[in-house]
Homo-oligomer: A and B are copies of this chain.
Amino acid sequence: MTPTIGILGGGQLGLMLLQAAIDWNLRVHILDPDAEAPCRTLCTQFTQGSLTDYDTVYQFGQTVDVLTIEIERVNVDALEALEREGKQVFPQPSVIRTIQDKRLQKQFYRDHNLPTADFILTENRAAVSQYSDFLPAFHKLGRDGYDGRGVQRIASSADVSKAFDAPGVLEKAVDFAKELAVIVARNERGEVQTFPTVEMVFHPELNLVEYLFAPAEITDEINQQAQAIARRTADAFGIVGLLAVELFLDKQGNVLINEVAPRPHNSGHHTIRANVTSQFEQHWRAILNFPLGDTSVYQPAAMVNLLGEDGHTGPAVYEGLETLLAMPGVFPFFYGKALTKPFRKMGHVTVMDSDLDQLRQKVAIVKESIRVVT
């Protein structure tokens, strides 16, 4: 009766999808290049193989009824072939194709009148040097940037040597007050449901979310703007599945799309504990064309990423777990990666409290207490 589902990718997002899948007894096959991927022993069937190889993805797709992703760097040609043959592929390959390439993604916002920072498409480094009037800006690699790689700040002409000598997009630097995110779900019948707006605090150097507050501390008006933009973006893509919309709130009060991810997202991990429906359950609801779940909040939450400590590479050891487990409303989650390395995402901690000041205090203690070392 229930369909067999395939996920491209077996990392932490796959792991949390599998955890949610247990409720409904979903049969899930996983494809991941790493024989030691976190999901390997927790799915109905695990296949080790490349996510970017046409034949591997195509053949994996043949073993399932519904195919989805937990990472967008996958072979979209194979997904399109599967879709043409009638396989359900959600999010749709066309959506993944647009989002995979930051150039197409930015152009998509412009074409659909969705607010985003001004940009110029560039073909190589020499092209970047022509736009000194446009600086300060970020130069982003069109394809294959990830977690801070593939982005360079070009403050002035002197920095042009840092630009990528490959197709990219030069994006005007936004003087932002806050970074926000809204995760939105859309199912095949076109129902759309957003999660409450969250506020991300980035690590000053690593371009990684260091911690997150939910709900964001913003005015109702800003919140409504953020929520509306997320809905409009999901509708513009016509996506079936989750879309995580990362936003800038600039100092003039404008809300601008930074980038999107067509899958569960780091900015929604707290929803496992803090919201009636988690982002992971919502993803299943969306791609299986079930009614979307209630996203309301039980308690304010924060989420702290557990990054591998600088200077430590090797088998991971988690110091301070005991302290965390003794704190009420503190929920560590480990991704089961055998090896830690500096700043690798090894887990996260959800922190909850009905009082916002208490919540902040708990976050400070959590950040002090736990370390991923070797």
Binding site for B on A (CB under 8 A): 1, 15-16, 18-19, 22-25, 38, 41-45, 276, 285, 290-291, 293-294, 296, 298-299, 315-318, 321-322, 325-326, 328-329, 331-336, 352
Interfacial chain B residues near A44, Cβ < 8 Å? 41
Q: How far is the CA of A325 from the CA of B291 in the complex (A)?
A: 6
The 10 closest A-B pairs by CB, nearest first: A25-B336, A294-B328, A291-B326, A25-B334, A298-B298, A19-B22, A41-B44, A290-B325, A23-B333, A291-B325
Q: How far is the CA of A282 from the CA of B296 in the complex (A)?
A: 25
Interfacial chain B residues near A317, Cβ < 8 Å? 1
Tell me the minimal C-beta distance from A277 to chain B in angstroms.
9
Q: Chain copies in the assembly? A: 2
Interfacial chain B residues near A334, Cβ < 8 Å? 23-25
* A18, A42, A352: most-surrounded residue (chain B CB, <10 A): A42
Interfacial chain B residues near A276, Cβ < 8 Å? 328-329, 352
Q: How far is the CA of A45 from the CA of B294 in the complex (A)?
A: 35
Interfacial chain B residues near A293, Cβ < 8 Å? 325, 328
Tell me the minimal C-beta distance from A160 to chain B in angstroms.
45
Interfacial chain B residues near A318, Cβ < 8 Å? 1
Contact check, A25 vs B335: say whether CB atoms are below 8 A apart. Answer: yes
Interfacial chain B residues near A23, Cβ < 8 Å? 19, 331-334
Since A276-B328, A291-B326 are in contact, a sample of 8 more A-B pairs with Cβ atoms closer than 8 Å, ordered by chain A residue number, is: A1-B317, A1-B318, A19-B23, A22-B42, A25-B38, A285-B325, A291-B322, A294-B328
Q: How far is the CA of A25 from the CA of B42 in the complex (A)?
A: 11
Q: How far is the CA of A44 from the CA of B290 in the complex (A)?
A: 30
Q: How far is the CA of A317 from the CA of B1 in the complex (A)?
A: 7
Q: How far is the CA of A25 from the CA of B276 in the complex (A)?
A: 23
Interfacial chain B residues near A1, Cβ < 8 Å? 315-318
Tell me the minimal C-beta distance from A11 to chain B in angstroms.
13
Tell me the minimal C-beta distance from A354 to chain B in angstroms.
10
Interfacial chain B residues near A335, Cβ < 8 Å? 25
Q: How far is the CA of A315 from the CA of B42 in the complex (A)?
A: 24
Q: How far is the CA of A41 from the CA of B15 in the complex (A)?
A: 14
Interfacial chain B residues near A321, Cβ < 8 Å? 290
The verdict on A15 contacting B22 (CB below 8 Å), with A291-B326, A325-B290, A329-B276 known, is yes
> In chain B, what residue has the closest Cβ to A335?
B25
Contact check, A329 vs B25: say whether CB atoms are below 8 A apart. Answer: no
Q: How far is the CA of A334 from the CA of B1 in the complex (A)?
A: 13
Contact check, B333 vs A290: say whether CB atoms are below 8 A apart. Answer: no
Interfacial chain B residues near A22, Cβ < 8 Å? 15-16, 18-19, 42
Tell me the minimal C-beta distance from A335 to chain B in angstroms.
7
Q: How far is the CA of A291 from the CA of B332 in the complex (A)?
A: 13
> In chain B, what residue has the closest Cβ to A338?
B25
Interfacial chain B residues near A298, Cβ < 8 Å? 298-299
Q: How far is the CA of A333 from the CA of B318 in the complex (A)?
A: 32
Q: Which listed residue (B42, B290, B316, B352) contacts A42, Cβ 8 A?
A: B42
Interfacial chain B residues near A291, Cβ < 8 Å? 322, 325-326
Tell me the minimal C-beta distance from A4 to chain B in angstroms.
12
Interfacial chain B residues near A332, Cβ < 8 Å? 23-24
